[in-house]
Structure 1
Amino acid sequence: MSKKAKPRVYDKAGKQVKVADKSWYTFQASGEAEQRNIEIFVYGEIGAWGVTANQFVQDLRAMDDGMSPVIVAFNSIGGDLFDGLAIHNALSRLGERCTGRIDALAASAASVAVCGAHRVVIAANAMLMIHNPYTFTGGDAEDFRRVADVLDQTLEAIIAAYKAKAPNIDEAELRRMVNAETWLTANEAVALGLADEVGDGLKVSACLGQGSVLQRFQHAPAELLAQLDEEPEAEPPEPDPAPVLDAAKLALMVTQGCAAAGISNLVEPLLAATKLESEAVIQAALIKAKALHGLCVAARLPELTGEFITAGLDEAAVRARLFDKLVGSGGGFEINNSLPLDDDPVPKVKAKQVDTHSIWTTRQAAQNGTSKGARA
């Protein structure tokens, strides 16, 4: 039987700005009330695996005063296309006071989102990538025809977003570049009208931390892939650790921290994972547990959070595990702008075929035995 599911468009697929919870997504305001500047950093995925359009818009509404300049900095591999379109439109509504800034990479849905800004500044060593929507699906012929129609419709939405930023762009050439998965340098993006100015070069590679995500694209530039193999910069020396608390106080920290974060069901896994080593270890574990819980909730598999914590998995590994489970669940289809990896696992057989002959033979044997017993 064909399964009908609402399509989701996203691609599979970090940050220099220091924030308390190690998040790659943050809002900050600077200056006096009369001269505020609102700066937004989107250094990661867009959509359920990262920041949703709903979260972005709600946070923007909470901080925006209707007058201050808004700068949205992107270093993103992409994400959910519909969320990217919603962010595009949210930036467009800000009008002339909105500037989009590409610090390193605006790929796929992120390129759609940044083009909603009135003015786009791209760093001299940054790139903007445009390509067709991509998906995986299963089902009968009618399901595949329906998915193809959805892909055609979403492509038109992508083209419209780029043309809104660059109305004079040659549409035939734009479609050719989108179809070819084109990686644009800063000067090329400005020449096409998808960016307005080339800014100073920056070294920002946080969103490239998931190498397998970048490698899903067909034509990712070699220089970007090379960054994945670079040795990470040395971290500044950590301050002297605070005095270790006794076990009872550390256990109370875990319990209270879980209650405050709404993850009280994870107390036992966290106690086992941290071994109550120190306050710093527990604080880090709580932050990580909250992030993993958010990923599992987004995937509608919150029951797996404790298992992942016990296994000591990081966010990248959890994303991969959840992605594999979603792909193998057979619960409809998702439109994914990324390409599958060469080593993606072969889908597992979900059910054994019914052996009708064996069932019939067993029933016949049982009936014969009953008949002989009755005659005896």
Structure 2
Amino acid sequence: MTKRKKVPFQVVAEAGAKETVLTLSGTIQKRYWSDDKYIDARLIRDQLDSVKNDITIRLNSPGGDVFQGVEIYNYLKDHPSHITVEVMGEACSAATFICAGADEVVMNTGTIFMIHNAITGLWGNKNDLKRAVEMMETIDDSILSIYEERTGQSREQLQLWMDNETFFTADEAVQYGFATSVKSKPKENETDDHLTAEFKSMVNEAVAAALATQSVAAQASNPQPEPQTQPKKSLLAKLRKGETKE
């Protein structure tokens, strides 16, 4: 029996005439060998280095390694293509850096966006723990800089949201500057109403044009006598002015 080759399912790049679509679904973490479980900066570079047209990234990720996330953020920010990130499920923790590096961020209906302080596992003596806390504070400050540049929100407000591990709805993500728009499916009846109104307008214009043409043709076939500028005087008027002759 032939062994089936394992195909990465988290990352799929589709090259098109107008845009390249890159699907990212999974945890952000450094990949080793052919590990298909994670998304890292090297994988993004391999997929997008040669791309010249517009890029759409379909993203669904709970986050992961902060340094891999920051590297992806800077790579996308410096990429010459116009990049749109479309959130398909969640964009949380380090995955929000991918959104921050894009030119546009589109939240689908029902998606969420979450930010929080950096998290790590601590082990060691009191000096080790102190150094770890200082490192975490530095990382949080770097994260704040990314969000501040993206959203225009104050550092105080952003820090409060991070302290509370805040989840945003799609509309809230747009409201606070993390995303640019919410994508929703247009209602069929709204589309039908638009087409019906447009069709009615076209019919009305055609009927009006036909009536105008018919009117012009009727006038040409039955010309009306032009009004006299000097109407003839009646016999009574002539008698009053003595203009009649015996």
The answer, yes or no, to whether TM exceeds 0.5 is yes
Say yes or no: does 1:64 pair with 2:48.
Answer: no
Say yes or no: does 1:28 pair with 2:21.
Answer: no
**What is the letter of the counterpart of residue 16 of structure 2?**
S
Deviation sequence 1:187-213 (CA, Å, 0-9, x none): 111110110000127xxxxxxxxxxxx
Deviation sequence 1:119-172 (CA, Å, 0-9, x none): 111112100000011111211111001101110011011111111211x21221
Runs of 4+ in 1 over 4 A off after TM superposition: none
Q: Is the 8 A contact 1:95 1:118 kept in 2?
A: no
Say yes or no: does 1:165 pair with 2:170.
Answer: no
Say yes or no: does 1:79 pair with 2:61.
Answer: no
Q: Secondary structure at the match of 2:38?
A: coil
Deviation sequence 1:1-59 (CA, Å, 0-9, x none): xxxxxxxxxxxxxxxxxxx815111211122xxx3x11111110111250221221132
The answer to which structure has the higher strand fraction is 2
In structure 2, the residue matched to 1:45 is 27
User: Gaps (5+ residues) in structure 1?
Assistant: 1-19, 202-376
Say yes or no: does 1:177 pair with 2:161.
Answer: yes
Give the deviation of 1:94 after TM superposition.
2.5
Q: Secondary structure at the match of 1:173?
A: helix
Give the deviation of 1:95 after TM superposition.
5.4
In structure 1, what is the Cα distance between the partners aligned to 2:149 and 2:46? 24
In structure 2, what is the Cα distance between the partners aligned to 1:198 and 1:170? 23
Give the deviation of 1:112 after TM superposition.
1.7
Q: Which of residues 112, 115, 121 in structure 2 aligns to 1:130?
A: 115
Q: Secondary structure at the match of 2:148?
A: helix
Task: Compute the RMSD of aligned alpha carbons.
Answer: 1.6
Mean Cα deviation higher: 92-101 or 41-50: 92-101
User: Gaps (5+ residues) in structure 2?
Assistant: 1-5, 31-36, 186-246
Higher relative contact order (CA 8 A, sep 6+): 1
- Higher-Rg structure is 2
Equivalent positions of 1:181-330 (< 5 A) are: 181-200=165-184
Say yes or no: does 1:146 pair with 2:131.
Answer: yes
Give the deviation of 1:182 after TM superposition.
0.4
In structure 2, what is the Cα distance between the partners aligned to 1:96 and 1:196? 18
Equivalent positions of 1:331-342 (< 5 A) are: none
Q: How many pairs are equivalent?
A: 174
